Amino acid sequence: MKKVVLFGECMVELKQNQGAYQVPMAMSQGFAGDVFNAAVYLKRWFADIQVQLLTALGTDEMSQHMKDYFESEGLNNDLVLTSETKIPGLYSIQTDSSGERSFTYWRSDSAARYTLSLLEETAISQLKQADMFFFSGISLAIIQPEHRDQFWQLLWQLKDAGVEIVFDPNYRGRLWSSIEDTKSQYDLALQVSDKVLPGVEDFEAIYGHKNFEQVKAFCQPYNIKELVIKDGPNGVLVVHQEQEMFVDIAPVENLVDTTSAGDSFNGAYLGARLFGQGIESSVLLAAKTAGFVIQHPGAIVPKETFYNLLLEQHIQ
């Protein structure tokens, strides 16, 4: 069985109920986070791949509910570490009368930020047995500065052990102390990664790059084996073994919520590649997944709804 580990944070999500503009505001509670979202969609498509989250939660009731939810999605909890003093992060989504969304975060001291301090040799041994290790720019941003050296040493150990390292630069400016700090950490990430899945939008915010060619040129000096450049409805450019492939993406008309567009793309693409599918078919599956997800509210589409997509794909 193939095994993939995704490192990052899952948070408690509070979402304003539709039309709930009164005070007090009626909200529904769920769980979400970029790496977690990707893990869910990867597992939903490829049940035969073992999917694990490397993260940390607390001993509180909400942490236990989160672990139970992980299990309900088929995720393996062996690398979900426990902090005795910290709890999960939380964020809320508010939507105004015009449909504009805003986010508020409470995550500055979450358990996930201390994952590396809780990592023991037994867990590191498990990590070395993985086929793939995935992390994102958000994963990087939440690492405590004093744990960064430990993280990079770990990644090089995994790479030396034959684990494929995958990085999505997924950028959130508010999580970083400065753009210089971001660039410094991203440079280390690009040095160690075998696969990189940048979005043009992210690279424009960090480096000022505005198109496929500029992103490709920037990444060229690094020893990246598979570069998957995403530009929303403008398509996907993949550079692999010195060959380029452009995949056009069909536009989505009924756009509802783009929260998990990139996450669902990543999950489907990485699962397909790990399962042995070719680049074009993997991109098309990933694009179809993202296109389906953004037509529904929330980061995680209900299982029953998502299975309609699985059935449709199977029939085709």
Peptide bond into 24 cis (omega under 30): yes
263 is catalytic: yes
Whole-number Cα distances in Å, 58 to 76, 80, 89:
17, 10, 10
Strands 164-168 and 11-16: unpaired
Strands 90-95 and 11-16: parallel
Lookup result for tokens 């929260």: 259
190-206: burial string, b at 16+ Cβ within 10 Å, e else: bebbbbbbbbbebbbbb
Cβ neighbour number for residue 100 with a 10 Å cutoff: 8
Nearest 5°: phi and psi at 166? -125, 135
Nearest 5°: phi and psi at 247? -115, 120
Instruction: Provide the 3-class DSSP secondary structure of residue 12.
Output: strand
Between CA 19 and CA 17 the distance in angstroms is: 6
Contact present, 162 and 156 (Cβ < 8 Å): no
Strands 243-247 and 236-240: antiparallel
The residue annotated as part of the active site, out of 34, 168, 202, 263, is 263
254, exposed or middle or buried, with CB in 10 Å at 0-12, 13-18, 19+?
Answer: exposed
105, exposed or middle or buried, with CB in 10 Å at 0-12, 13-18, 19+?
Answer: middle
What is the layout of strands, in order, in the sheet containing 243-247? 80-82, 50-57, 3-7, 132-136, 164-168, 195-196, 226-230, 236-240, 243-247
Residues designated catalytic: 263
